[in-house]
């Protein structure tokens, strides 16, 4: 079991940062989602044993909090969102130091630092000072220091932050390879596409409350939407108006029409309208259900319930 939480609460005076979180997650890859101020950072720090719960009980990888917080920190790696490096150090010395802080002997940590830096693609730069590293290289160093001690679980906080499209793809490929090697991953990111690329399940928080915990596919099937991309041979405005008059959500994007459907809607109903109107469809591309739409729908439902 990755996490087992029962009514976990964290308060600062009268402010409740976590409001009775109860969940169970098996080992694997999990996305941690929520708007700013939702409680994501508080939950991560609580699971790391860095914050003490106000009430409730929790275990991580079978180790109880707070009694076994030290064992938990030895078994996990953490890649923070903000830069955490020491700029005057070389990459290999820095990653080695992070290994030593988890309890590894110095010689073993140094050896592992070399291996891990090669693994993340920084082998040739391992003796360079971190102050001269690019944003992409710094992100890889942060991943390396999270992996150097061979953890069972890694927390990754915005790992693609500041990366260009190629750098993002390479980082996500690295994370998927980490997964393939049997390491569980918790990914906190505002880029939901990244979460879909990496994770099987998601934990969603809003205002300190748990609003969803479970597989991504089930969530998308329940709350997601399809976007159908359409091009017609001629007169697409007449087709757009015909679809709108029948209750479809349609918008124009360049030379295309985008039709948004609910998870249970039949995309072929669009073609029935085209047939009725005598309009020739030249391009019809069904899109996948999106995690982003499911996420926004859940947030809207939670906010409506809170204000009801």
Helix and strand counts by DSSP (H, E) for the chain: 11, 14
Contacts of 162 (CB under 8 A, 6+ apart): 135, 136, 139
Please state, for a pLDDT cut of 70, what percent of the chain lies above it.
98
| pLDDT above 90 for 25 | yes
pLDDT, residue 222, reads 81
The structural domains of the chain, ordered by start, are 3-219 (3.40.50.300), 223-288 (3.30.70.270)
> pLDDT for 105-156, tens place per residue?
999 999 999 999 999 999 999 999 999 999 999 999 999 999 999 999 999 9
**What local confidence, expressed as pLDDT, does residue 69 receive?**
92
Model pLDDT, residue 211: 95
Instruction: Read off the pLDDT band of 263 (50, 70, 90).
Output: low
pTM of the model: 0.84
Closest by CA position to 284, among listed 269, 266, 271: 271
- Among the ranges given (102-111, 189-198, 281-290), the one the predictor scored with the smallest mean pLDDT: 281-290
Q: What count of other Cβ atoms lies within 10 Å of the Cβ of residue 139?
A: 25
pLDDT digits (tens, 9 = 90+) for 237-248: 999 999 999 999
Q: What is the mean pLDDT of the chain?
A: 93
160 contacts 168 by C-beta, under 8 angstroms: yes
Choose the weakest-confidence range: 163-167, 203-207, 225-229.
Answer: 225-229
Tens of pLDDT, residue by residue over 39-87, are 999 999 999 999 999 999 999 999 999 999 999 999 999 999 988 888 8
- What average pLDDT does this structure show over 239-266? 88
């Amino acid at each position: 079991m990755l996490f087992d939480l029962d009514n976990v609460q964290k308060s600062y005076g009268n402010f409740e940062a976590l409001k009775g979180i109860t969940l169970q997650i098996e080992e694997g890859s999990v996305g941690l989602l929520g708007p700013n101020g939702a409680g994501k950072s508080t939950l991560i720090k609580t699971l790391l044993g860095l914050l003490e719960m106000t009430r409730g009980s929790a275990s991580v990888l079978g180790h109880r909090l707070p009694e076994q917080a030290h064992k938990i920190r030895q078994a996990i790696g953490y890649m923070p969102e903000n830069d955490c490096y020491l700029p005057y150090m070389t990459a290999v010395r820095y990653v080695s130091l992070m290994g030593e802080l988890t309890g590894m002997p110095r010689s073993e940590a140094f050896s592992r630092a070399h291996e891990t830096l090669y693994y993340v693609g920084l082998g040739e730069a391992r003796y360079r000072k971190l102050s001269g590293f690019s944003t992409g290289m710094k992100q890889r160093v942060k991943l390396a220091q999270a992996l150097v001690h061979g953890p069972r679980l890694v927390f990754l906080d915005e790992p693609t932050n500041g990366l260009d499209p190629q750098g993002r793809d390479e980082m996500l490929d690295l994370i998927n390879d980490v997964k393939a090697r049997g390491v569980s991953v918790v990914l906190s990111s505002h880029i939901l596409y990244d979460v879909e690329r990496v994770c099987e399940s998601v934990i969603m928080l809003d205002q300190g409350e748990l609003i969803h915990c479970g597989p991504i596919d089930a969530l998308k099937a329940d709350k997601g939407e399809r976007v159908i991309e359409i091009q017609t041979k001629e007169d697409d405005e007449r087709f757009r108006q015909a679809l709108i008059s029948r209750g479809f959500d349609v918008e124009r994007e360049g030379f295309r029409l985008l039709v948004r459907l609910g998870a249970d809607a039949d995309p072929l109903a669009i073609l029935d309208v085209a047939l009725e109107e005598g309009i020739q469809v030249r391009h019809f591309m069904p899109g996948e259900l999106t995690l982003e739409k499911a996420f926004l729908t859940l947030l809207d439902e939670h906010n409506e319930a809170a204000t009801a």
